[in-house]
Amino acid sequence: MGSIDPSELSASLDGELPAEACDRVRAALAADDSLRKQYEQLMALDAKWRSAASGAQFRPNVQLENPKSRIVPIAVLGCALLVVRLAIKAPPPAIGAAIDCVLLTLMVSWGFGRILRFAESDREQVRFSPQTGSVV
Amino acid sequence: MDRDQDDCRARFQRWIEPLLEQAGAYAYSIVGNPPDAEDSVQEALWKGYRGMSGYDSSRPFKGWWFAILRNCCLDLLQSRSRQPRVLSEEEVGHRMACTNPQTEALRDSMASLAEPYREILRLRYFGGCSYRDLAESLSIPVGTVMSRLHAARQALAAEFAKE
């Protein structure tokens, strides 16, 4: 293969060689027919493999959740309702009950959210029934 | 501190976004099906984000994160070997419709190679990694990347020649 290292052929194909080494490879290819043939074969295989690998590309449906984007407005709402509830000494029963319900719902939701986040670290494997197609 | 966390998260999202499709392909090359590949990428997202404080920004981000992704894929394969995923008929049909024969032939050929060759070829072809990314992901010098990749290609060419 003349004066170049065989691995420099691959690196040249990948565009990963510094300029000086690229020039050496180019000169060696121009001077040696068998080397040029090997390079062309490598180029053809590389194109074939890249084309085959591109068939696997897909965009996974993933997300990086920001809990704050949901928690902050909910927390602000919860605090505001609590302040209102405490400030009004004798609220009408319906309004008092409504505020109590919303506060209770927010607290329970927050509690479940914490439990679910803890449980996510031990996610169960999803199992489907082949017969019914439903989750087992 | 909240602003730092938001900045970190925004930076992580910015860096991750252009890598997702290649991450999906790379994960698929290891686990062999899109749903498991998606799970692996999601897991790697969370782990990568949580591990950002340990990331040295002078090192290639893609190589760093793909090393995390590879571990997530291998963990998932281990868990599947203990508890196989049972698929519905619809999932099986969907999976068969998505299968590309050339892609599967490449995966099968790579799977028969020695692990160092298999790993570097997967990262290069499915993951689209540069030599720097390969060096970072595999924790080897760039010079070793050059020689190993060349040897891996020759081994893969020999496998293809058998078919």
DSSP per-residue codes, B143-162: HHHHHHHHHHHHHHHHHHHH
Question: CA A81, A83, A86, A91 torsion: positive or negative?
Answer: negative
Q: What pLDDT does residue B98 have?
A: 59
Q: What is the dihedral of CA B50, B56, B8, B17, to 10 degrees?
A: -80
The answer to whether B24 contacts chain A (CB < 8 Å) is yes
Q: Please indicate whether, in this complex, the C-beta atoms of B131 and A55 are within 8 angstroms of each other.
A: no
Angle made by CA atoms B51, B52, B55, in degrees to the nearest 5 = 100
DSSP notation for B32-59: SSHHHHHHHHHHHHHHHHHTGGG--TTS
Across all residues in chain A, what is the average pLDDT? 77
User: What tokens appear for A130 in the block?
Assistant: 């082949």
Cβ distance A128 to B87 less than 8 Å, yes or no, reads: yes
Residue entry with tokens 């860096």: B15
Choose, out of B12, B14, B21, the residue to mutate when testing the contact with A (most A CBs < 10 Å): B21
Q: Contact A58/B25, CB-based, under 8 Å?
A: yes
- Name the residue of chain B whose CA is nearest to A56's CA: B25
Average pLDDT over residues B135-143: 96
Flag whether pLDDT at B26 surpasses 70.
Answer: yes
**CA atoms of B163 and B147, how far apart (whole Å):** 25
Among the partner-chain residues B12, B23, B153, the one whose CB lies closest to the CB of A10 is: B153
d(CA B129, CA B68): 14
pLDDT digits (tens, 9 = 90+) for B47-84: 999 888 888 989 999 999 999 999 999 999 998 887 77
- Residue whose C-alpha is closest to residue A38's, from B125, B130, B146, B154: B154
* Distance between CA atoms of residues B39 and B27, nearest Å: 9
CA pair distance A51, A46, nearest whole angstrom: 8
Which residue among A7, A49, A60 places its CB closest to the CB of B38?
A60
pLDDT, tens digit (0-9, with 9 covering 90-100), for A38-58: 999 999 999 999 999 998 888
**Cα angle B132, A26, B134; round to 5:** 10
Amino acid at A65: E
| Whole-angstrom distance, CA of residue A35 vs CA of residue A77 | 73
Span B22-29, average pLDDT? 95
Cα–chain center distance at A37: 41
What's the pLDDT at A116? 65
User: Quick check: B23 and B45 in contact, CB under 8 A?
Assistant: no
Looking up tokens 């439903």, which residue turns up?
A134
Distance linking the first and last C-alpha atoms of chain B: 58
Question: A39: how many CB neighbours lie within 10 A of its CB?
Answer: 18
Q: What is the pLDDT of residue B66?
A: 97
Nearest to A133 among B24, B90, B151 (CB): B90
Count CA within 13 A, CB hemisphere, residue A25.
20
Stated pTM of the model: 0.73
Given this model, what pLDDT does residue A118 score? Answer: 57
Return the higher-pLDDT residue of A126 and B100.
B100
Give chain B's largest Cα–Cα span: 59
CA geometry: angle at A48 spanning A43 and A51, to 5°? 125
The rounded mean pLDDT for chain B is 88
Q: How many CB atoms lie within 10 A of CB A120?
A: 9
Q: Tell me if chain B has a CB within 8 Å of the CB of A62.
A: yes
Q: Per residue of chain A (136 residues), give pLDDT as tens.
A: 457 888 999 999 999 999 999 999 999 999 999 999 999 999 999 999 999 999 888 888 888 765 445 556 677 777 887 888 888 777 678 888 887 888 888 888 777 766 665 555 444 444 433 344 344 4
pLDDT of B10 > 60? The answer is: yes
pLDDT attached to residue A13: 94
Query: Residue B49, class by beta-carbon neighbours within 10 Å (0-12 exposed, 13-18 middle, 19+ buried)?
Result: middle
